[in-house]
Amino acid sequence: MDYGTPIEEIECSTSALSDYIYSSETPIVLRGLVNEWPIVKKSKESNEAVIEYLNRFYNGKPVNAFLAEPETQGRIFYNDSVDGFNFAQSQVYLDDVLNRLNGIANQQSPPTFYVGSLEINQHLPGFALENELNLKFNDSRIGIWLGNHSIVAPHFDFPDNLACCVIGERRFTLFPPEQHQNLYVGPLDFTPAGQPISMVDIKHPDLQKFPRFEAAMEAAKTTKLQQGDAIFIPSMWWHSVESLSVLNGLVNYWWRDSPAYLGVPNTALLHAIMSIKALPKRQRDAWKSIFTHYVFDQPSDMYDHLPDNVKLQQSQISEVTVRKLRAQLMNKLK
């Protein structure tokens, strides 16, 4: 099923990102951003050439791979009872996976092999030096995704995300953060790959079972990337990624504009569900007001009634403050 409006596109002649992209609150497609990368040039030669290129960097460490049977049609998802998954995970060697992918490339209905979010510097040392991107965040996490035909359900990432298509074609379908309620999200504490996912099959949505998804479809944005293209996905945007070729590769950069010592909000959400969700409504309403005051809509004069030294301590979230708060939380959770 086709839906979604096109995403803004920029033709790129350099691998440096402008401040316009870093500050964007909506997705942007960057055509040709990594056209000059060696891996992109190898992938345009042949699958054998790009596999040989990747194996040149592989250091032999085992990797985690997903295997889904042909009847799943590449959809990485739950089983029917949502108490397990429709794929198996195993520790394998990357060169074996790549050779297996090449061997089944011409099968009519092959199984799905999928190696996701492999940290490049840990498994492919030297790759990032030859395939370099100029980012203003030096501490970005770099991962690579490799496999054949697959589709990953809509999910969101907390960091900003730059995804570079380096092998094959990929289709991206994105939904704004406010579409969360229309995506019918599955369990928060039991997920296929760490992030909560939409339970809707976005290729064949059942609008009788998931009627609000029609509103998400109207708000969706979509694009198809070729080798050398990239897409900027802002923090919290839901996105589904479909791999369209017999061999696909995607290099991701994740970064955040807040210090890592602050942790991730999803941890706070899980704690809030545990400690607040089951309270009587009057208590939940009271805590909602407190959260609004301290977190979501702080008054400008929030600490003006305190002595100056205390006001400074309360208004700043420094690394020292975070360490103290984390220690308090750990003690209370015990």
Identify whether residues 251 and 287 lie together within a single domain.
no
How much is the pLDDT for 14?
Answer: 67
Identify whether residues 321 and 183 lie together within a single domain.
no
Identify whether residues 121 and 244 lie together within a single domain.
yes
Identify whether residues 273 and 244 lie together within a single domain.
no
Q: What distance in Å separates the CA atoms of residue 239 and residue 201, rounded to the nearest whole number?
A: 13
How much is the pLDDT for 308?
Answer: 77
Identify whether residues 246 and 268 lie together within a single domain.
no
Identify whether residues 241 and 288 lie together within a single domain.
no
Identify whether residues 251 and 289 lie together within a single domain.
no
Identify whether residues 196 and 266 lie together within a single domain.
no
Write down which residue in 219, 241, 257 finishes a domain: 257
Identify whether residues 289 and 143 lie together within a single domain.
no
How much is the pLDDT for 15?
Answer: 64
Per-residue pLDDT of the chain (334 residues; tens, 9 = 90+): 678 999 999 998 766 678 888 889 999 999 999 999 999 999 999 999 999 999 999 999 999 999 999 999 999 999 999 999 999 999 999 999 999 999 999 898 999 999 988 999 999 999 999 999 888 877 789 999 999 999 999 999 999 999 999 999 999 999 999 999 999 999 998 999 889 999 999 999 999 999 999 999 999 999 999 999 999 999 999 999 999 999 999 999 999 888 888 888 988 898 899 999 999 999 999 999 999 998 899 888 887 887 877 777 777 788 888 888 888 888 887 7
Number of separate domains in the chain: 2
Identify whether residues 240 and 108 lie together within a single domain.
yes
Range of the domain at 220: 5-257
- Indicate which CATH number applies to the domain containing 242: 2.60.120.650
Identify whether residues 192 and 287 lie together within a single domain.
no
How much is the pLDDT for 16?
Answer: 67
Identify whether residues 170 and 307 lie together within a single domain.
no
Angle between helix axes 47-57 and 38-45 (nearest 10 degrees) is 140
pTM of the model: 0.92
How much is the pLDDT for 32?
Answer: 95
Write down which residue in 217, 241, 257 finishes a domain: 257
Write down which residue in 226, 257, 288 finishes a domain: 257
